[in-house]
């Protein structure tokens, strides 16, 4: 065997070992880099008794698409509840294949951001304006589209990643943008007190039965000088139980146990959003995943 052949075989062995190692880890898809999902996923990894590989994505819609795909090994992901429901309307069978990991809910606040001193001071002021609504891979896109459809407020949609919208706003490319994320959103927290932006209150009777009313308190961000009213989208941690192996079921059992047993620790040491966790939500109508003993060679789904 010549040197080139030996090198090819050696590289192949390394890649195979890497693939096996990755498969042995639980694959947790988080969200946008610098977003709340990524911070929460990292907290879960830091307080886990098993190996977890945290991956970033383009947003909640991308999370859903990757979770249901057979072309990857994604085991679990964070999803906006409205994204989950929207996809159930298109494909009712997903209710049989996906489970909310546990009755543990987080709210993602709907941020409406405009330039400081802008004449945009309410949702109605978006009429005729250029508004960034995220990309089609993001939950922000779904939420902003629902708000526009339900309220009848006609603005000009600009499809743009929430992470790119801040620069576009300051460059005058857009007039405002939506960002759905659990406050405080890490990327917005990094902006200093002199950031030339402001949060805009969101109020509309057409939204009261769809989303939970919330407030983003003054000082949540260094540049935020007043409390604003808004709405929030419930966030759920979802796992795929279709064709679930014994190994995957054990990973889910461990994940469920680690999150519940380390919740107080994560509330102390992790992202601020852990402090807002709640365990009952009558508006969430989706089957849960419950831990069960792994029984070899037995047909099971580990889900109710």
CB 35 within 8 A of CB 140: no
User: Among residues 202, 233, 264, which one ends one of the domains?
Assistant: 233
d(CA 219, CA 15): 48
Do 93 and 7 fall into the same domain? yes
The predicted structure's pLDDT at residue 199:
98
pLDDT digit string (tens) for 203-231? 999 999 889 999 999 999 999 999 999 99
In terms of domains, do 204 and 173 share one? yes
Q: Which of 233, 265, 286 marks a domain boundary?
A: 233
3-state helix, strand, coil in the chain (%, to 5): 40, 20, 40
Domain coverage including residue 247: 3-106+236-276
Assess whether pLDDT exceeds 90 at residue 178: yes
Residue with more model confidence, 72 or 85: 85
Q: What is the DSSP string of 120-165?
A: --SGGGGTT-EEE-B-TTSHHHHHHHHHHHHH----EEE-B-HHHH
Determine the Cα–Cα distance for residues 201 and 110; give it in Å rounded to an integer: 10
- 219 falls within a domain: yes
Q: Is residue 48 part of a domain?
A: yes
As a whole number of angstroms, the distance between CA 23 and CA 264 comes to 30
State whether 102 and 240 are in the same domain.
yes
How far is Cα 34 from Cα 190, in angstroms, rounded to an integer?
9
Position 229 in a domain? yes
- E runs forming strands in the chain: 26-29, 52-55, 76-80, 98-100, 106-115, 130-132, 156-158, 176-181, 197-199, 212-216, 228-240
Residues 96 and 30 in one domain: yes
Asked if residue 139 and residue 124 are part of one domain, the reply reads yes
Are 18 and 129 contained in the same domain?
no
Domain membership flag for residue 44: yes
71 inside domain = yes
19 and 72 fall within a common domain:
yes
Distance of alpha carbon 42 from alpha carbon 61, whole angstroms:
20
Q: Domain end: 233, 253, 285, which one?
A: 233
pLDDT mean over 273-285: 83
Do 62 and 100 belong together in one domain?
yes
For residues 268-284, average pLDDT: 86
Domains in the chain, number: 2
CA dihedral of 177, 128, 202, 161, whole degrees rounded to 10: -20
Q: What's the mean pLDDT when you consider all of the chain?
A: 88
- Same domain? For 63 and 122 the reply is no
What's the pTM? Answer: 0.78
Q: Is residue 284 part of a domain?
A: no
Q: Would you call 6 exposed, middle or buried from its count of C-beta atoms within 10 A (0-12, 13-18, 19+)?
A: exposed
Q: 113 and 229: one domain?
A: yes
- What average pLDDT does the segment 27-50 reach? 93
Cβ atoms within 10 A of the Cβ of 273, count?
A: 24
Q: Residue 69: is its pLDDT beyond 50?
A: yes
CATH code at position 171: 3.40.190.10
Whether 286 is covered by a domain: the verdict is no
Whether 302 and 244 have beta carbons less than 8 Å apart is answered as yes
Say if residue 35 is in the same domain as residue 148. no
Q: What percent of the chain has pLDDT over 70?
A: 87
Asked whether residue 304 is domain-assigned, the answer is no
Same domain, 100 and 164: no
> What is the per-residue pLDDT for 13?
45
């Amino acid at each position: 065997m010549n040197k080139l052949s030996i090198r090819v075989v050696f590289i192949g062995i390394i890649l195979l070992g890497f693939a096996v190692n990755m498969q042995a880890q639980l694959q947790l898809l988080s969200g946008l880099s610098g977003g709340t999902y990524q911070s929460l996923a990292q907290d879960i990894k830091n307080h886990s008794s098993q190996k977890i590989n945290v991956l970033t994505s383009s947003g909640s819609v991308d999370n859903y698409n990757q979770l249901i795909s057979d072309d990857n090994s994604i085991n679990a992901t964070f999803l906006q509840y409205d994204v989950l429901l929207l996809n159930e309307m298109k494909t009712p069978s997903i209710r049989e294949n996906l489970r909310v990991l546990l009755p543990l809910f987080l709210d993602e606040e709907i941020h409406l951001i405009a330039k400081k001193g802008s004449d945009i001071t309410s949702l109605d002021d978006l009429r005729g304006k250029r508004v960034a609504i995220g990309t089609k891979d993001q939950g922000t896109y779904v939420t902003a589209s629902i708000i526009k459809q339900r309220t009848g407020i006609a603005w000009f949609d600009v499809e743009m990643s929430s992470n790119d919208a801040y620069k576009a706003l300051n460059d005058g490319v857009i007039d405002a943008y939506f960002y759905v994320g659990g406050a405080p959103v890490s990327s917005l927290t990094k902006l200093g007190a002199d950031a030339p932006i402001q949060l805009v209150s969101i109020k509309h009777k057409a939204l009261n039965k769809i989303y939970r009313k919330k407030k983003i308190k003054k000082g949540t961000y260094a540049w935020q000088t007043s409390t604003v009213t808004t709405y929030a989208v419930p966030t759920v941690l979802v796992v795929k139980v279709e064709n679930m192996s014994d190994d995957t079921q054990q990973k889910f059992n461990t994940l469920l146990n680690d999150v519940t047993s380390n919740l107080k620790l994560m509330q102390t040491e992790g992202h601020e959003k852990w402090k807002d966790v709640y365990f009952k939500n009558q508006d969430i109508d989706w089957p849960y995943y419950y831990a069960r003993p792994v029984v070899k060679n037995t047909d099971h789904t580990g889900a109710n």
